[in-house]
Amino acid sequence: MDTLTEPHRDLIRSCPLFAGVGPAEVGAALDALHARVRRFKRGEIILRAGEAVPSAGLVLEGVVEGSFVSEQFNQVDMERFGAGLLFGEAIACLGGTSPIQLRAAEAGCVLFLDVASLVEQIPSRNGLIGARLLSNLALSLARKDAFLNMKVRILSQRGLRDRILAYLQNLPIGKDGWVTLPLTRTELARYLSVNRSALSRELGRMVDGGIIQMDGKRLRAL
């Protein structure tokens, strides 16, 4: 893995997939996972919907955006993966095709990992390291399942206001009672599968109605 920088290696060691794997063991784990690095330009397609998913991806630099086109031909953003986040592990394990498109929202690079090997070969071949990686992978899949359940619950709300409130309920609340929106207004509109102007109007109505208070990207329920 000569193409990895030291900051990249630090990021890999901090990734939940490698939790409990010692610094001296990370190299062996990467070799067993047939790890490879690929760089992407901003806007470049990493994976198209319907294409096979041979590997999971760990974002080392930049941001990867997952989305699909609805029946109304609107782009629906499913999730954004920043540095240190893993994507595609479930489909890669199943050997399936991608239900969404993955695009580089920012220029960066991705470390691709053959996670299917965790189930097929690594635990028996690499002992405790493989067992630890497999356990970490199971936890990662459980977290992704929880995220998808949340996404389904939000999009199942009939009204835009209900979608907004359902989304806000899942954001961490600061000690002062405020939450910070992690997305821009455009990104949030895509996430909620609505028009940006409609989202802005509804947020304005909620502020005028005394339901929420907004200060830039900070928001508080009243």
Residues 171, 112 within the same domain: no
Residue 71: both structure tokens together = 């029946």
CA distance 67 to 3: 29
Residues 193, 170 within the same domain: yes
Residues 12, 81 within the same domain: yes
Residues 73, 128 within the same domain: yes
Torsion of CA 90, 138, 8, 100, to 10 degrees: 20
Residues 25, 121 within the same domain: yes
Residues 137, 169 within the same domain: no
pLDDT at 170: 85
0.85 exceeded by pTM? no
Compute the residue count for the chain.
Answer: 222
Torsion of CA 160, 161, 162, 163, to 10 degrees: 50
Where in the sequence is the domain holding 205, given as residue range(s)?
A: 160-221
- Contacts of 212-221 with CB under 8 Å at 24 or more apart are 212/168, 215/178, 217/180, 217/181, 218/178, 218/179, 218/180, 218/181, 219/168, 219/178, 219/179, 219/180, 219/181, 220/177, 220/178, 220/179, 221/168
H runs (alpha helix) in 15-88:
23-32
Residues 24, 87 within the same domain: yes
Residue 179: both structure tokens together = 């939450």
pLDDT at 59: 96
pLDDT in tens, 184-213: 888 888 888 888 999 999 999 999 999 999
Domains: count for the chain: 2
Q: What percent of the chain has pLDDT over 70?
A: 91
152 part of a folded domain: no
Residues 200, 138 within the same domain: no
**CATH number of residue 206's parent domain:** 1.10.10.10
Question: What 8-state DSSP symbol labels residue 97?
Answer: B
* Number of Cβ within a 10 Å radius of residue 95: 10
The whole-chain average pLDDT of the chain stands at 86
Q: How confident is the model at residue 144 (pLDDT cuts 50, 70, 90)?
A: confident
Higher pLDDT, 79 or 160: 160
- Hey, CA dihedral for 180, 60, 135, 50, is it positive or negative? positive
Tell whether the model's pLDDT for residue 42 goes beyond 90: yes
pLDDT at 2: 47
pLDDT at 136: 86
Q: What percent of the chain has pLDDT over 90?
A: 41
Residues 166, 142 within the same domain: no
Residues 113, 193 within the same domain: no
pLDDT at 72: 64
Residues 141, 32 within the same domain: yes
Residues 63, 143 within the same domain: yes
